[in-house]
Amino acid sequence: MSFRISIALVFLAACGGDDGNTTPDGPPGGDAQVATVMETPCVGGEQAMMTMDTANAYMPTALTITAGQSVQFINSPNHNLAPVATMSDPGLNVGFGATKCLKFTRAGTFRFKCVPHGFMGMVTVN
């Protein structure tokens, strides 16, 4: 019986852990308590902007910003914005027809989509 427990512990040790690398979608490391995307007031044009266009796409489809910068998302009434992967920050949400400014506080790649239509966009934070 103790042999089985030893094998299980070796298996679990080999599979676990965080190497601190940036994930394909989200912030570096495994610090889930630290918010990486948070709502912030939209103040005077200081933020980058991503809007909906008539061809069912985010415009632009990809942005590159620096950590601490905000992006203003403007959705039309038929579209929303939600994280693509479960690894992405849950703060990356903008409702149907809503306008929201989101501040990205840590480096990473943040992919999102319009849930009913499936088109995607991305913010890369350096």
Task: Supply the pLDDT for residue 111.
Answer: 92
CATH code for position 63: 2.60.40.420
| pTM exceeds 0.85 | no
Query: Quick one: pLDDT at residue 53?
Result: 73
CB 71 within 8 A of CB 101: yes
In the chain, the number of structural domains is 1
Q: Within 16-95, where are the H helices?
A: none
Is 46 a domain residue?
Answer: yes
Per-residue model confidence (pLDDT) at position 107: 93
Residue 44 lies in a domain: yes
Pairing, β 99-104 against β 48-52: unpaired
Q: For residue 66, how many C-alpha atoms fall within 13 Å in the half-sphere facing its CB?
A: 1
Q: Mind listing the pLDDT tens digit of every residue in the chain (126 residues)?
A: 444 433 333 333 333 333 333 444 544 444 444 669 999 999 877 789 999 876 789 999 999 999 999 999 999 999 999 998 766 688 899 999 999 999 999 999 999 999 999 999 999 999
Domain membership of residue 50 (yes or no) is yes
Q: Which domain holds residue 53?
A: 21-125
Residue 2 falls inside a structural domain: no
Query: Domain for residue 6, yes or no?
Result: no
Q: Which residues pair with 63 in a beta bridge?
A: 123
For residue 17, give every residue at least 6 positions away whose Cβ sits within 8 Å of its Cβ, in sequence order, or none.
none
Asked if the structure places residue 1 within a domain, the reply is no
